[in-house]
Copies of this chain bind each other. A is one copy, B any other.
C-alpha cells in the first residue's frame, strides 16, 4: 500500500485547571492550563488504537499534515504519520500535543497570567518533564482514552516516553523511546547553559520582559550551538566539508565564508521566526533536570520498576548528544526488571538528527513493533 500524506490538520485546544490546577514538581500550581493538540486518524469503538506522539525541544503539536491548502511544509514527523505509514492513520488514532512551557499553543512563559493580566515571562514556574507528562495525562482523560496502544517520541520526546512509562504504567500497552536518555549528560547540561547565557546576554531579552524587540540574536546563537550537537562530525564533513559558500577565496572578513556557516546561520534565522526565547529557557531547563534515577539514588533498574509493558528503544551510532550507551543503560535496567524490551542501535552518520532523518529504518522498526502490539492486543 502506498504511503500517503494526511491533508489539512487544524490544531485543537484543551483547557483545564480552573478548579483543577496542575501540581508542579517545583511545588507551585499552574492554573488555567491550555494544551494545544492535533489528532490524526479515528479512535475506534473499543478505544484501543490510540497512540501518543511526543515532540522534541523545538517541535510542536503539528507532527503531520499541512495547515492549509497552500502550506508546503509538513509537520515535523510527517514521514512517520499518515495512511500506510509506520503510524498508519488508517488503523491508528494519533494524538500529538505541544508541551506546556512551549510556545506553539500550550500554556507557557508567553501566556497571560490571569492573576496579573500580564505575560508570565520569567514568573512562569520552572517545569520538569514530569510536569509536561502530567498535563498530557489530563489530555488523555479529556479524550476518554484509558490506555494508549503506544507512546512514542525521540530526544526530549523520548524523555517524556520514559517518564510516562514510569509514572503511568497502567495507561499504556507499549512505548517507543528513540535517541534519548534517562538523564542528560553533564556535556548536554553545559551546552544548554551556554545557549541560555547567549539568550540572557542579549540586550533585548531584558530579564524576559521583551515586547517589541525579542532577543533574536541570542536565541539564534543558542539554536546554532544546539544544531551543531544534533549533527555529527562525519555528517558535517560529508555535507559541507570546508567548502566556501560563494567566493573562490577567503573573504578575509567575519561574514559567512564557509557553507557550514551559511547553513547554521540559516537555521538560526529560521528558528527565531517560530520559537520564543523564554520558552527556550524553560524547555532546556526541563531537559537539564530530567534524571529518572535521581528518585532512586542512581539505581536505574529501581527507577524503572513500575514499567510493565513492552518497550522499544532505538539509538543511532553517531548520536553524541544522546549516545547509544545511554540507551543501552536503559535496556540493561529494563532487562534486569524482566521487561519485554526491543532495542536497535541503528548505523547512521546523521548524529542525533537521525531520529528525524533515518525514515526507512524507523518505518520498519516502529511499524513492526506497533502492528505486532496491536495484533496481540486484539487477540487477547
Contact = CB atoms under 8 A, between A and B. Distances in A.
Interface of A: 25-27, 122, 125-126, 183-187, 189-191, 193-194, 196-198, 200-203, 217-218, 220-221, 224-225, 228, 231, 233, 236-237, 239-242, 250, 252-254, 257-258, 260-261, 264-265, 268, 281, 285, 288-289, 291, 294, 320, 323
A193 B260 contact: yes
A254 B186 contact: no
5 contacts: A194-B225, A197-B265, A201-B201, A225-B225, A254-B281
Contacts of A203: 203
A265 B198 CA distance: 12
B281 A233 contact: no
A184 B242 CA distance: 8
B201 A320 contact: no
Given A125-B252, A233-B185, A236-B185, A190 B261 contact: yes
A282 B16 CA distance: 54
A3 to B, nearest CB: 33
A221 B194 contact: yes
B237 A185 contact: yes
A96 to B, nearest CB: 27
Contacts of A260: 186, 189-190, 193
B258 A186 contact: yes
Nearest to A241: B186
A180 to B, nearest CB: 16
Given A288-B258, A291-B242, A198 B186 contact: no
Residue among A186, A288, A289 with the highest chain B CB neighbour number at 10 A:
A186
Give the number of times this chain occurs in the complex, counting copies.
2
A214 to B, nearest CB: 13
Contact of A224 (B25, B197, B239, B254): B197
Contacts of A196: 254
Given A186-B240, A190-B264, A258-B288, A218 B233 contact: no
Given A191-B228, A197-B221, A221-B197, A252 B186 contact: no
A197 B220 contact: yes
A193 B257 CA distance: 10
A193 B264 contact: yes
B250 A320 contact: no
B289 A26 contact: no
B254 A200 contact: yes
A288 to B, nearest CB: 7
Contacts of A289: 250
Given A185-B233, A187-B228, A191-B228, 18 more contacts: A26-B252, A126-B253, A186-B241, A186-B258, A187-B231, A189-B261, A193-B261, A193-B265, A194-B224, A194-B264, A197-B268, A198-B198, A198-B201, A201-B201, A250-B289, A254-B281, A254-B285, A258-B288
- Sorted nearest first, the 10 A-B pairs with minimum C-beta distance are A201-B217, A26-B252, A126-B252, A203-B203, A186-B236, A186-B260, A193-B261, A187-B233, A186-B240, A194-B224
A187 B126 CA distance: 32
A185 B125 CA distance: 41
A236 B187 contact: yes
Contacts of A253: 126
B200 A201 contact: no
Nearest to A217: B201
Contacts of A201: 198, 201-202, 217-218, 220-221
Nearest to A226: B194
Nearest to A216: B201
A241 to B, nearest CB: 6
